[in-house]
A and B are shown apart, each in its own frame.
Chain A
Amino acid sequence: MRNIIIPAVLFILVITFVALNLFYITDNASRLDAILVSASDAAKNGDFEEATAEVERFKEEFSAVGKYLFAVIQHNEVDDVIFSSNRLLALCNADTKEQFLSEIEVTRESIKLIRDAEIPYLENIL
């Protein structure tokens, strides 16, 4: 019986870690996406100061999450978001609304991809 208990406990630990990881990534992705949406809304209203503040908040929050993401997902996916957020900040400062809005969509898509890759959809498994 003890022979079964040890691997069973280890398996439960792995599953728990996987579940926590899934929750952490999806939760943070939704939070980061909400920041990008509010930055986008601010830019649409012509409030680039507010948009810049939101993008800076996004960068700050993502750098905290990114440290963990580097350990669990492919590095290029995290790098894509970092580069994209740097471009966002530059576009914010240049007041180029259209380019800023399209870059925001690119960043949101990258975040969505990171979140979707973690969810065990049949498409992901296959």
Chain B
Amino acid sequence: MAVAVIRTVILYIIIVFAVRVTGKRQIGQLSPTELVITLMLSELAVLPMEDMQKPLLAGVIPIFVLVIVEFFVSAVVLKSIRLRRILNGRPMPIIENGRINQQNMKKIKLSLDELAEELRILGSYDIETVSEAVMETNGQMSIVLKEDYEPLCKDNMKAKKEERKVPAVVISDGEIQKEGLLKAGIDKEQLKSILQKNGCSSAKEVFYMTSKAKNSYFIVKKEKKQ
């Protein structure tokens, strides 16, 4: 039992490490090679975990080999377009100039219901509004709406544009974020007075605080325990 617990912890650490170094994309975003590696990694980890007769190294060595192979394949795929096409396939146009490409749908075995579902997920409830739809190599669909249905943006309104910045997170769950303070351009004393102005005596009372621009702060106080 103790051996099983120790082995499980060791394999957990190794698998987390392996998944971390091979990339952190979600299942739906994995390329075919990454999906194969993920499936094989999980299978390999389970064997020495449940069968104590199997040496731990019988699972660990193949895991490391897979990680190395994945590194090698991704490095080669990055360099060679041809190999990338062979291993990952090509993006497949499903709707072209507003017309559904039925041949390509048959090729990737995509039903009309599935196409409608994908379009709904992307915010388009009517196939008629879509000009282009492409099934990407990672299995996700991307679309371009017809000009008439595109949402208004500043560019096509010729409106004045301002530079937009990602807000700096100054406090997260009661903890002051040093990087956020630096980004917001304030020190701890200034932060203290800002918090006091907003009815908080310390950072511990703040659940979330961001700074978008100078003197523009967004503060969410912690809910009091009942």
Contact = CB atoms under 8 A, between A and B. Distances in A.
Interface of A: 14-15, 17-19, 21-22, 72, 74, 117-120, 124-126
Contacts, number: 32
Interface stretch (B50-58, B92-100, B132-140, B185-193): B50-58
Given A117-B52, A125-B10, A72 B3 contact: no
15 contacts: A14-B5, A15-B5, A18-B1, A18-B5, A22-B2, A72-B1, A118-B1, A119-B2, A120-B6, A124-B3, A125-B3, A125-B10, A126-B55, A126-B56, A126-B57
Contacts of A15: 5
A123 B21 CA distance: 28
Interface in B77-93: none
Main secondary structure of the interface of A (DSSP, over half): helix
A126 B52 CA distance: 9
A120 B56 contact: no
Contacts of B57: 126
Contacts of A117: 3, 52
A22 B3 CA distance: 10
